Amino acid sequence: MRAKISPGCARPGLNIPAIDEVPKFSASRRVNFTPQQIFAVVSDVGSYKDFLPLVERSTVRNRKPAVDGTENFGADLVVGYNKMGIQEAFSSQVQANLKDFSVHTVSTGNAVKKLISSWQITPVEGGQSEIAFVVDYEMKSPMLQMLMKGMFDHAARKIMGAFEERAARLYRS
The residue extents of the domains of the chain are 25-171
Report the pLDDT value the prediction gives residue 21, as an integer from 0 to 100. 42
Range in 8-17, 67-76, 123-132, 152-161 the model is least confident about = 8-17
Distance CA 132, CA 115 (A): 17
Per-residue pLDDT of 41-91, as tens digits, reads 999 999 999 999 889 999 999 998 888 889 999 999 998 877 767 788 889
Determine which helix (DSSP H) or strand (DSSP E) holds 52, and give its type and residue range: none
Per-residue pLDDT of 152-163, as tens digits, reads 778 788 888 999
Report the pLDDT value the prediction gives residue 118, as an integer from 0 to 100. 95
Q: What CATH architecture does domain 25-171 belong to?
A: 2-Layer Sandwich (3.30)
Write the CB contacts of 11 (distance below 8 Å, at least 6 apart in sequence): 5, 93
User: Which of 105, 43, 38 minimizes the C-alpha distance to 69?
Assistant: 43
Confidence of residue 32 (pLDDT cuts 50, 70, 90): very high
Distance CA 77, CA 109 (A): 10
Instruction: Quote the DSSP letter at residue 82.
Output: G
Report the pLDDT value the prediction gives residue 22, as an integer from 0 to 100. 40
Instruction: Over range 169-173, report the average pLDDT.
Output: 86
Q: Which long-range contacts (CB under 8 A, 24 or more apart) does 88-95 make?
A: 88/112, 90/115, 91/9, 92/10, 92/45, 93/10, 93/11, 93/12, 93/15, 93/16, 94/43, 94/45, 95/12, 95/13, 95/16, 95/70, 95/71
Write the CB contacts of 126 (distance below 8 Å, at least 6 apart in sequence): none
**Does residue 6 carry a pLDDT above 50?**
no
Report the pLDDT value the prediction gives residue 173, as an integer from 0 to 100. 55
The whole-angstrom distance between residue 117's C-alpha and the CA centroid of its chain comes to 5
Confidence of residue 147 (pLDDT cuts 50, 70, 90): low
Asked if 49 and 128 count as a contact pair (C-beta separation under 8 A), the reply is: no
pTM for the whole structure:
0.80
Instruction: Over range 109-137, report the average pLDDT.
Output: 90
